Amino acid sequence: MSLGALEDYAGDDAPPAPQKIEARLMPWAAGLGVVSWGVALLVSLVIFYFGLVMGSIVPWLALPITVLGVLAALFSVWRLWRAMRVRKADAPVLVIGPEGYHDSRIGRLIPWSEIDSLTPDQPGTRIFLRIAVRDPRRYLRRRVRLPRDGVLVSSLSELDVRPDELVAAALACKAAS
């Protein structure tokens, strides 16, 4: 079933029985975070070393550059550690089931009764599912910002389940609730 066919789904025929689907990040997507924060750590260590070398050339510039390098290295180590935990965990990122829609990148489980509409969106090569809920702030994690239009956005790309299967499962579960 194509994405266009899902948008035209009118519900005239009986929707497929809802089933629980779990989607995990593709290994290359999780590994990309580890590689990028590893490179950031190397760059921050180069800045730190540059600050130490600058002490002999321009003494007043050595301390700020060294401190910047140390802070950048500490931040990069923390982010690298978190990226490695995500890669190692292999936990489902997205769970669609009869009880609701749960995207761990957004926040907590959203019951189907709270969801007003589900709209697939493909602005470029990535596919998103726009979820209109009654009170979106209840379902967000602390550090996730709410989009301007108040609709939660869930990325269906970079997962090990095809986006059209995820959209079909979400629409079937929503129709069954």
Q: Which helix (H) or strand (E) holds 95?
A: strand 94-97
Span 123-135, pLDDT tens digits: 888 888 898 888 8
**Structure tokens belonging to residue 8:** 């035209």
Q: Of 120, 176, 109, 113, which is closest to residue 151 (Cα–Cα)?
A: 120
Per the structure, the count of domains in the chain is 2
Do 142 and 97 share a structural domain? yes
Say whether both 41 and 83 belong to one domain: yes
Query: For residue range 55-89, what is the model confidence (pLDDT) as tens digits?
Result: 778 888 888 999 999 999 999 999 999 888 877 76
Residue 30 has pLDDT above 50, yes or no: yes
| Shared domain check, 121 and 101 | yes
Domain that holds residue 71: 27-89
What CATH number should be reported for the domain holding residue 124? 2.30.29
Distance CA(117)–CA(50), nearest Å, equals 54
pTM for the model: 0.65
Tokens 């050339």 belong to which residue?
57
State how far the alpha carbon of 75 is from the alpha carbons of 29, 68, 87, 105, 136, in Å.
21, 11, 18, 21, 30
